[in-house]
Every structure is written in C-alpha cells, then in structure tokens.
Amino acid sequence: MTGLSRRRLLGAGLAATGTALAAGGSAGPRPRLPADVPVAVTRPAAAPTTSPPAPTPAATALPQLDRPVFTLEEYRRLVPGPPFPGNAVALTIDDGPHPTWTPKVLRLLDRYHVPALFCLIGNQVLGHETVARDIVAAGHHVANHTWSHPGKIDHFAQDRVQQEIDRAQNKIYDTTGKLPTIFRSPGGAVSPAVFAAAAQARMVPINWTNDPRDWTRPGTGSITHRMLAAHPGQILLCHDGGGDRGQTCAALETVIPALQARGYQFVALDGLPSSH
C-alpha cells in the first residue's frame, strides 16, 4: 500500500478526547464514561507474545448498554471523536481472516482508498496470523467477533460469553498488537449477558444498517442491489470469511466505486481510546 493510501485510511481516526459514553437510539442519553478515560497509545509493530495487559482500575469496564449500535450517528454518540461527514458510510467485514478472500478484499479496498473494520473470529486468526497482520498493516481496524462464532450466543450465560470474547481478544492482540474495543456478536444476536460481557471487556457492541445477506451467496446481482440501496449514515455489512466469497468480492467491485460516484465517503470505525 502506498503512503498516500495509508494516510487516507488512517485519517478517520478517533480523537482521544476522553469525552462521554452514551447509548444511541430514541431512549435519550445513557451513562457516560468518566472524564479520565486514558488517551490512545500506539502499539508496537511487532506482535506481542503475551496476553493483553490489564486495564487501569478506573477503566475496568464500560457502562452496560441495552442495545447495539446500528448507525454512524449512534456510534458517534457513544465513541469520542469528530462528527462524521454527512455523506459518510462505514464498511464492516465479518468472519475472517481467510487466506483467499481477505487478501482479495484488501487489494480492492486499497485500489479505492477505502478504510474498513474487519470483525475477526479468533479461531480464524489461528493459523492465518499473517493475513490478520496484513489487515492492520494496510491501515484497517479490527473488531472482536468471538472465538468460535457460536450461533446461539444470546442463549449463553455471561461467563460463557466472556470466555468467547476474552479468548478472541487475546488471540487478536497477540497476533496483531491491536486490542479491539468494538464487538460484533455472531449474527447480531444480543442479550443482557452479551452486553454485560462486552462492557466488561471495554468494547462497544455494533450491528449494522445495511445487510446484503452475502453470506447466503444469493448471487452477485442481489448483493450489489442491496448494497447500492445504502444511505449516508449507515453501517454496511459484508463478509470475507465463512465460505466462498467470490460473489461478495465481485459485488464490491461495483458497489464501492458506485457509492463513491454518488459522493459517499467511506469512514473507519476505530473504537474507543485505549485504556492501556
């Protein structure tokens, strides 16, 4: 990736202002983070060999939410940073890393200078560590998508959810040197236990606004049609893992330049300021 591309990708980083955390939606403001949330610290380039360091006592957990983030407006009410542009959309990519499809997606994103959030499964990082590091080296951000992507996580007790989150968190950090502060539950499934576990791990739970259901492989035309229905302020979902993603890659070849031609700006979701 060129220096110019990487600067463009990194340009959407959060300002670590230590401002408040409040949940989005129509229910109004929710509990806010303490004013002394530590500022972000850049991790070393080399992958660490130890588990993530313990957070400071004042930042052990976040206030527990009762709904995930669905839009950029809700996200910015939760996470400190400058307002997103009025024409912004965010691309999120789930279920990788994959040795075939993730590199194809990375090349496509580099071509169009698009930043993305990759929601990584811990046991997919296992064995594909180089691909996971390539995501970060390309200037993209990573989120925790559990260790094994259990389909009924919303039926789990909190301690079992916590194990899924913590094991993935350790593997992602050990591999990439980045500690995710965004959590995406498998299938978007949520419950009080899921929200409690995410809060304990200092992660903001996010879902999406636009779902082309590309994981079902409905055809390139169907994926393209659904993604082109996106509006500014939405969080877009697609996949680089979980099977053959040739249709997804083919659709993105059309969708990304088409949305850019409309004047849409792709922005990155890069999480809370680090607590370490």
Q: Name the residues annotated as catalytic.
A: 94, 239
Sign of the CA dihedral running 69, 72, 174, 138: positive
Structure-block tokens of residue 217: 């492989």
Cβ proximity of 87 and 64 under 8 Å: no
Cβ proximity of 226 and 212 under 8 Å: yes
Cβ proximity of 179 and 144 under 8 Å: no
Distance in angstroms (rounded) separating the CA atoms of residues 222 and 214: 8
Residue 187 dihedral angles phi and psi, to the nearest 5°: 65, 10
List strand residue ranges (DSSP E) for the chain, in order.
88-96, 117-120, 141-144, 182-183, 204-205, 235-239, 265-267
Residue 69 dihedral angles phi and psi, to the nearest 5°: -80, 135
Structure-block tokens of residue 219: 């055809």
Q: Which residues pair with 143 in a beta bridge?
A: 119
Sign of the CA dihedral running 197, 21, 86, 1: negative
Cβ proximity of 169 and 179 under 8 Å: yes
